[in-house]
A and B are shown apart, each in its own frame.
Chain A
Amino acid sequence: MKNIFLQEMKLNIKNFLIWSLTVGGLGLACIMLYQSMQGDMKEMADAFSNMGAFSDAFGMSTLSIATMKGFFATEVGTVHGLGSAMFAAILAINILSKEEEGHSGEFLLSFPVSRSKVITAKGLCVLFFLVLFTILCSVLYVSGFWMLEEEIPTAEFTKFMLCQFLMNIEIAAICFAISSCSGKNRMGLGIGIAMLCYFYDLIGRVVPDLKESLVAGPFSYANASEIFSGNEISSLAVLIAVIVISAAVAFTYYYYNRRDLAA
């Protein structure tokens, strides 16, 4: 199992570096932009906070983008949320199915390892990369705060990154389950799932009637503006996330252990 895990690490390291440095780098660039925009920000913040439902959707009615905290939540929060969700989806959706897509499944499964061990090794690899992704992006964002000599809102920032990490796990778990059913590259579907979850949350915040059903989506508890505004995370949303993750992982073990593997 250790060898499969290490092999997966090797195969995915380039993908990880590209995504983490791009998302983390973009976030850092956004933070650095704050200083140059700070002078003009006051009027912009006033305008953005009076745009009705859209201000609510992006959290600009409760947070001022003229402050570093508000700017981070609205700008970097969106970049990190979307980027990390897409990375989690892309990483997980092909990790099992690529063996059949690339015809290496017979090579791998002719060794004395059970399918469950293959699932565990690959699942742990996804989890490990998501941890590394979160750490690397956090380091880049924190370094941005330091460079601008701005105070880091430690509690909100930690809560935000942890919630984003949980959201990444949830999306990865859904994609992992899909990967167990498929023998083909489903990267488009993975990106689609990440985007769908993001827009579900966005639309839910704009349309008042949908607000009640927001908790079902993984972005509901990871919303930066909610967290940086000091709002409590919905425990129901977190509970749903835990249930979705558990169900997706259980399905993966159940289905992958019972299906025929293509040559």
Chain B
Amino acid sequence: MANVIEIKNLSKNYGKNRGVIDVSLEVKEGDIFGFIGPNGAGKSTTIRSMLGFLKFNEGSIKILGMDSVKDREKILANVGYMPSEAWFYNTMKVSEVIKYAADIRGLDCSKEAEKLCERLKVDTGKRIKELSLGNRKKVSIVCAMQHRPKLFIFDEPTGGLDPLMQKHFFELINEYVSEGATCLLSTHVLSEVNRYCKNAALMREGHLTMLDSPKIDDDTFLKFYEDEEA
């Protein structure tokens, strides 16, 4: 299987503050890769460096075989990203946001968007400012999935979603992955990693450690967090 994500010796700092230090990571095609770690460990910094929101200090990132800096636009055409905070333009209607996301990609995603809205029970007539966090997240999922990307990057996607929607969300991921997509899932939820991920890595204090298996028990999982506090 080819590497969909290939990060080599990535370092990013925010002046005197640590971001991530010497992170190397490989995610293979067809994987659902769990990315776990305490708040502030560097998960979002890694993801945001991959997507070009942050300018990293050292290292290299290849996504779908392309350089994350030089080929950013080509990469993003094949990536569906869902940020941890699902924010849009408040005055827009849900249907307008979804269409805008497709139009800006130059694609007609209406059929796939309709299917996703039906599965996730998205009310497309409401304005963004009327939505709860959970409902905004559902809109974000539709925007990330409607163009059927090769790589999904989800940053804490299930916070705010009710259990039924969480189930539908993972069903959708499994469907897309079975059709050849790859998924990087940053999460704090152990059950998600245990149940859905094929591989996982732990991020702590800016350092990344590959886990032998994503099947972790509660005690081990909590220890990652306790160690950070200590």
Contacts and interface: CB of A to CB of B under 8 A. Distances in A.
Given A102-B87, A103-B87, A263-B85, A111 B54 contact: no
A104 interface: yes
A107 B88 contact: yes
Given A11-B91, A114-B73, A260 B55 contact: yes
Dominant secondary structure of chain B at its interface with chain A: mixed
A263 B48 contact: yes
A235 interface: no
Interface residues of B, number: 31
Interface stretch (B74-82, B175-183, B189-197): B74-82
A263 B83 CA distance: 9
Contact of B72 (A7, A105, A114, A261): A114
A5 to B, nearest CB: 11
Contacts of B72: 114
Contact of B53 (A102, A106, A111): A106
A154 interface: no
Contacts of B48: 106, 263
A107 to B, nearest CB: 6
Contacts of A4: 104
Nearest to B80: A110
A7 B100 contact: yes
Contact of A113 (B44, B73, B75, B79): B73
Contact of A111 (B44, B89, B101): B101
B100 A102 contact: no
Nearest to B103: A3
B156 to A, nearest CB: 12
Interface in A80-112: 102-107, 109-112
A263 B143 CA distance: 18
Contacts of A109: 51-53
Interface of B: 14, 44, 48, 51-55, 72-77, 79, 81, 83-85, 87-91, 100-101, 103-105, 140, 143
5 A-B pairs with the lowest CB-CB distances in the bound complex, closest first? A103-B87, A112-B77, A112-B76, A110-B81, A106-B83
Given A106-B87, A111-B101, A112-B74, 12 more contacts: A103-B85, A104-B88, A104-B89, A107-B87, A107-B101, A109-B52, A111-B76, A112-B76, A259-B55, A260-B14, A263-B53, A263-B83
